[in-house]
């Protein structure tokens, strides 16, 4: 069996909340609270969830832009916290990020040529002439033109700027790209162009993607597998087909019910969740979703449900599916075809 390119285990990030003039620590924002998943070479893992559930924090820890509070990250068979300086440099080349807002992430005072050349200079790759050649080549690869190298970011449209952001991420020949809501800021008409480009690049370069998004609609076509996050945890992790055909977690069912159905003959009842997302500084006891769950049982208020595989390739963290509580009548409400 193929080995995962990335292995994340029990990853946590607690941000201290400070109060008063002395800056005493008053508590913690549990932004990521025990997340585990594998990403296999060449696949796309979608990570989905509402604002504030810890998607970007997870991505930033994998990038080593943030130090995890706890947990392990293994990339290409190596534990990241144990890497020496040389291995760390190589890893920084191998893992790149594409951001939501390409305008904020591109230096407005640099030409596109300089922006694209920079990662090569940082990593000591190629001489000046080779770097310029590679810049021209990659502008073409992402659907822009050589002459764009002399222009500045503000001279481009949003979609073109994201193409520049993607080209920049590709310059160091990475293996893994973490795309944090790469199309959320773009017009719907432009979104699919950028998604198609990303898929073409994935095939061409054999890239592996972690694709972060707010809603299940955007990640549907690009993801091989999808992880659904809620309040710092993964509540469901599955291959895409199974997730969209048979969402198990009540939260996934609610998210999916909000995605427009392309087939007009097929109606899906929209599930509107009661209440707001609780604060990650003060998460609910037991299952983090119990305060909003239409199928809440007593056990949900006290015990955290573990992420368990219910069928091959489909895992869910929900007491409706755990051994002891599986006999509950509610279960039949959430089987296939219920929404
Ligand atoms: N540096 C920080 N210090 C304190 N709290 C933080 C910090 N960064 C993020 N958080 C908090 O951690 C939680 C998770 O944030 P994160 O940005 O990972 O969410 P997200 O899922 O990416 O949300 P969005 O969809 O809005 O981008 C939020 O409550 C956020 O306010
Ligand atoms: Mg985010």
Average pLDDT over residues 319-339: 55
Q: How far is the CA of 188 from the centre of ligand 1 (A)?
A: 25
Q: What's residue 329's pLDDT?
A: 45
Q: Is the pLDDT of residue 136 over 90?
A: yes
Answer for the pair 201, 166: CB distance below 8 angstroms, yes or no: yes
pTM equals: 0.91
Q: What's residue 334's pLDDT?
A: 44
Q: State if residue 53 touches ligand 1 by the CB under 6 angstroms criterion.
A: yes
Relative to the alpha carbon of 58, which ligand is closest? 1
Q: Whose CA is nearest to atom 7 of ligand 1?
A: 15
Q: How far is the CA of 180 from the centre of ligand 2 (A)?
A: 7
Ligand 1 atom with the shortest distance to the CA of 281: 29
Q: State if residue 67 touches ligand 1 by the CB under 6 angstroms criterion.
A: no
Task: Convert the pLDDT of each residue in 48-101 to its tens digit.
Answer: 999 999 999 999 999 999 999 999 999 999 998 888 888 888 888 999 999 988
**Above pLDDT 70, what percent of the chain?**
93
Cα separation of 161 and 181, whole Å?
A: 14
Strand segments, DSSP code E, in 267-313 are 308-311
Q: State if residue 29 touches ligand 1 by the CB under 6 angstroms criterion.
A: yes
Span between the terminal Cα atoms of the chain, in Å: 35
Ligand 1 atom with the shortest distance to the CA of 49: 21
Ligand 1 atom with the shortest distance to the CA of 32: 14
Helices 158-170 & 188-205 angle (0-180, nearest 10): 20
Q: Is the pLDDT of residue 330 over 70?
A: no
- Contacts for 114-123 with beta carbons within 8 Å, 24 or more apart? 115/153, 115/164, 115/168, 116/149, 116/164, 116/167, 116/168, 116/171, 117/171, 118/168, 119/168, 119/171, 119/172, 120/171, 120/172, 123/89, 123/92, 123/93, 123/172
Token pair in block for residue 39: 């990403």
Q: How far is the CA of 100 from the centre of ligand 2 (A)?
A: 8
Residue to substitute in 26, 35, 54, 210 for testing ligand 1 pocket (most ligand atoms within 8 angstroms of CB): 54
Q: What's residue 333's pLDDT?
A: 42
Q: How far is the CA of 328 from the centre of ligand 1 (A)?
A: 35
Q: How far is the CA of 130 from the centre of ligand 1 (A)?
A: 39
Q: State if residue 151 touches ligand 1 by the CB under 6 angstroms criterion.
A: no
Q: How far is the CA of 335 from the centre of ligand 2 (A)?
A: 31
Q: Is the pLDDT of residue 324 over 70?
A: no
Relative to the alpha carbon of 49, which ligand is closest? 1
Q: Whose CA is nearest to atom 4 of ligand 1?
A: 15
Q: Is the pLDDT of residue 258 over 90?
A: no
Average pLDDT, the chain: 90
Token pair in block for residue 190: 């432009």
Q: What's residue 267's pLDDT?
A: 63
Q: Is the pLDDT of residue 266 over 70?
A: no
Helices 128-141 & 158-170 angle (0-180, nearest 10): 130
Q: State if residue 100 touches ligand 1 by the CB under 6 angstroms criterion.
A: no
Q: How far is the CA of 50 from the centre of ligand 1 (A)?
A: 11
Q: How far is the CA of 55 from the centre of ligand 2 (A)?
A: 6
Q: What's residue 114's pLDDT?
A: 96
Q: State if residue 105 touches ligand 1 by the CB under 6 angstroms criterion.
A: no
Relative to the alpha carbon of 179, which ligand is closest? 2
56-60, 65-69, 212-216, 324-328: least confident range: 324-328
Task: Convert the pLDDT of each residue in 4-14 to its tens digit.
Answer: 999 999 999 99
């Amino acid at each position: 069996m193929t080995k995962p390119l990335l292995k994340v285990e029990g990853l946590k990030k607690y941000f201290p909340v400070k109060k008063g003039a002395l800056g005493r620590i008053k508590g913690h924002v549990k932004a990521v609270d025990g997340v585990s998943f594998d990403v296999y070479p060449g696949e796309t893992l979608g990570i989905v969830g509402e604002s504030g559930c810890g998607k970007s924090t997870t991505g930033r820890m994998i990038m080593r832009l943030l130090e995890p509070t706890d947990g392990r990250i293994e990339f290409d068979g190596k534990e990241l916290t144990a890497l020496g300086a040389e291995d760390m440099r190589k890893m920084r080349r191998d893992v790149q990020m594409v951001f939501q807002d390409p305008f904020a992430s591109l230096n407005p005072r640099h030409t596109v040529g300089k922006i694209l050349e920079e990662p090569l200079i940082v990593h000591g790759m190629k001489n000046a002439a080779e770097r310029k050649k590679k810049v021209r080549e990659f502008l073409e690869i992402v659907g822009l033109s050589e002459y764009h190298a002399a222009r500045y970011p503000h001279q481009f449209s949003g979609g073109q700027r994201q193409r520049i952001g993607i080209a920049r991420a590709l310059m160091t020949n990475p293996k893994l790209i973490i795309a944090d809501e790469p199309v959320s800021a773009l017009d719907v008409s432009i979104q699919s162009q950028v998604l198609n480009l990303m898929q073409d690049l994935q095939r061409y370069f054999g890239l592996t993607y972690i694709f972060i998004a707010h809603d299940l609609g955007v990640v549907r076509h690009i993801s091989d597998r999808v992880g659904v996050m809620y309040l710092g945890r993964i509540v469901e992790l599955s291959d895409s087909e199974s997730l969209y055909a048979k969402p198990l977690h009540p939260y996934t069912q609610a998210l999916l019910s909000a995605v427009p159905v392309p087939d007009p003959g097929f109606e899906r009842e929209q599930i509107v969740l009661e209440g707001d997302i609780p604060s990650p500084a003060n998460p609910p006891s037991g299952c983090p979703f119990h305060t909003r769950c239409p199928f809440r049982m007593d056990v949900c208020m006290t015990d955290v449900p573990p992420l368990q595989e219910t069928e091959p390739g489909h895992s869910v963290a929900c007491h409706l599916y755990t051994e002891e509580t599986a006999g509950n009548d509610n279960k039949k409400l959430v089987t296939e075809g219920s929404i």
